[in-house]
Amino acid sequence: MRLSVTQLDLRGRRVFLRADFNVPLTGDEIADDARIRAGIPTLEHCLSNGASVVLASHLGRPAGRDPRYSLKPVAFRLEELLERPVPLVPDCVGPLSEKLAAALEPGQCLLLENLRFHAEEAANDPDFARALARLADCYVNDAFSVSHRAHAPMVGITRFLRPAAAGLLMQRELLALARVLDHPRRPLVLILGGARVSDKLGLIRNLVPQVDRLLIGGAMAFTFLKALGCETGFSAVEPDLVPIAKKILEAAQARGMQVVLPEDVVAAMYPGDRDRILTVPAERIPLALAGLDIGPATLIRFRHALRDAGTVVWNGPMGMVEQPAFASGTAELAEVVANCGGLTVAGGGDTVAAIRRAGVADRFGYLSPSGAAFLEALEGRELSGVAALSAMTGQALAAAP
């Protein structure tokens, strides 16, 4: 077990809190502050327990220092949510950063400028990690979404700054994953969608031997349909992966696992086509048409497969959700999953966004915005940022039981 922020005696301590404030921007305005809001509980826990906090995050993928990727909008939003000042430090390392961090009083916090203004961040440079470590007394990682990256603020810093604990958001992610991977309530149903089989191969190999039913939608379904000899028309198929898809289906059949593929699809000549949108059988898609969403018969088939699910894990939309004409299958499936009586877990930015748009987010057991990290954890990989945290043993800063 990893050490939790709730086990630290934070009184008078200065915490380096690695958060994920990588929010979408429209100019200087934050388009969606969900990630900022998600990080507030850990920050407030530290501040209310007598700590001062040095906040750190990346934003986008700047090539060096670029004012378009400044965390200034994030600092403003944090001030609104916390109702207290959150100064933005011009840099994340250096004498000024150290001076301002050292001047913090209990209950105060500051935000370092974008970590990725320094190439050393992604390179896990030890000198850069050491410079970050000088800013605080202990370390808390609440950025599960980037914990699959062996970067300096995720991994390198923990060599110089201990103890290293998990934040509240990270704890929720790890708990949800444990409930899925270790002792899931059965039947365990895995729903996969999205564009490519290649993106999900690791997940399929790790989870399929454990699941009771596999529901496949989205564009990736057409590679499996092709493996069954179906006519997929102009739909997206990964030809090189058709043999692998066939082996997956054969292995599932050999162990008696139910695989549910689309029975019908909503098809068009191209995504922007509004003149010829048809619902056609998934096994006989006309040559000029591409499947872009699941159809009503498929939704009924999926609903039946989910009727008694003890645990549902969902990753990937059922159609081209960025186009309203092909988003209804995903939205309707979100309603079906939300009505399941078992544990429901969904991960991935597109999937979570679609669930929120459907208005059923509060009826899911857990929604993980951590796309790649969530997938890698489900694949059974050890995440670098999680492995770097302190084990749950006696620590100099641990609170007394």
| pLDDT attached to residue 393 | 54
Do 197 and 130 reside in the same domain of the chain? Answer: no
The span from the CA of 388 to the CA of 350, in Å, is: 28
Mean pLDDT of 333-341: 96
Do 121 and 189 reside in the same domain of the chain? Answer: no
Do 92 and 196 reside in the same domain of the chain? Answer: no
Partners of residue 141 on adjacent β-strands: 18, 166
Tens of pLDDT, residues 62-109: 999 999 999 999 999 999 999 999 999 999 999 999 999 999 999 999
Do 188 and 237 reside in the same domain of the chain? Answer: yes
239, 194 contact by CB (below 8 A): no
Tens of pLDDT, residues 259-316: 999 999 999 998 888 888 999 999 999 999 999 999 999 999 999 999 999 999 999 9
Residue 400 lies in a domain: no
Does pLDDT of 384 surpass 50? yes
197, 217 contact by CB (below 8 A): no
Do 155 and 59 reside in the same domain of the chain? Answer: yes
Do 129 and 201 reside in the same domain of the chain? Answer: no
The enclosing domain of 22 has a CATH number of: 3.40.50.1260
Residue 388 lies in a domain: no
Do 213 and 135 reside in the same domain of the chain? Answer: no
At 48, list the tokens: 């209310």
Residue 383 lies in a domain: no
Indicate the number of domains in the chain: 2
Residue 252 lies in a domain: yes
Tens of pLDDT, residues 107-160: 999 999 999 999 999 999 999 999 999 999 999 999 999 999 999 999 999 999
Do 202 and 337 reside in the same domain of the chain? Answer: yes
State the pLDDT confidence band at 234, using cuts at 50, 70 and 90. very high
What's the alpha-carbon Rg for the chain, to the nearest Å? Answer: 23
Do 34 and 88 reside in the same domain of the chain? Answer: yes
Q: Which amino acid is at 155?
A: V
At 204, list the tokens: 């399929």
Mean pLDDT of 18-42: 93
172, 367 contact by CB (below 8 A): no
Do 326 and 371 reside in the same domain of the chain? Answer: yes
State the pLDDT confidence band at 371, using cuts at 50, 70 and 90. confident
Q: What is the mean pLDDT of the chain?
A: 93
Partners of residue 346 on adjacent β-strands: 314, 367
107, 12 contact by CB (below 8 A): no
Percent of the chain scored above 90 by pLDDT?
Answer: 80
Residue 372 lies in a domain: yes
Partners of residue 311 on adjacent β-strands: 188, 343
Residue 204 lies in a domain: yes
Which of 169, 204, 238 terminates a domain? The answer is: 169
Do 319 and 241 reside in the same domain of the chain? Answer: yes
Q: CA dist 147 to 17, 35, 130, 382, Å?
A: 13, 15, 19, 10
Q: Which amino acid is at 340?
A: C
Residue 307 lies in a domain: yes
Domain that holds residue 43: 5-169
